[in-house]
Amino acid sequence: MRIWGTCLAASWVLACAPRGANSVTAGSHLPGTVLFRNHSEEVVCEVSLTAAGSGLERDRLGPAEVIPPGGGRDWRLAAGRYDLRARSCARTLVWEQQDVEVPEAGAVLTFRGRQ
């Protein structure tokens, strides 16, 4: 694995994003899981991961659960393609990405700030 400019070069990279941008990379601490890491200064109060193209939203956090700055949360999730939406506690959409590929090895979603 090597870093070239603003892209990480490895066989498992799903996206090439500029430094400081939100990113999705394959592989997680546990196969079959998605890890959402909050590297922003915002509290995330809703995370929706639903089947790509379904148009649905399903908050995967508990009723009083939030992901604070520096925090993270993981979920078991079958391999497939998903639409991602994350919202602030004011219900403002802070990250939306469609057709996110989640391989069997899992994925890491890193939120660095509003798009």
Query: For the chain, what percent of residues have pLDDT higher than 90?
Result: 69
Fold of 22-111: Immunoglobulin-like (2.60.40)
Cα separation of 105 and 58, whole Å? 23
pLDDT for position 79:
94
Cα separation of 93 and 55, whole Å? 15
pLDDT tens digits for 67-77? 999 999 999 99
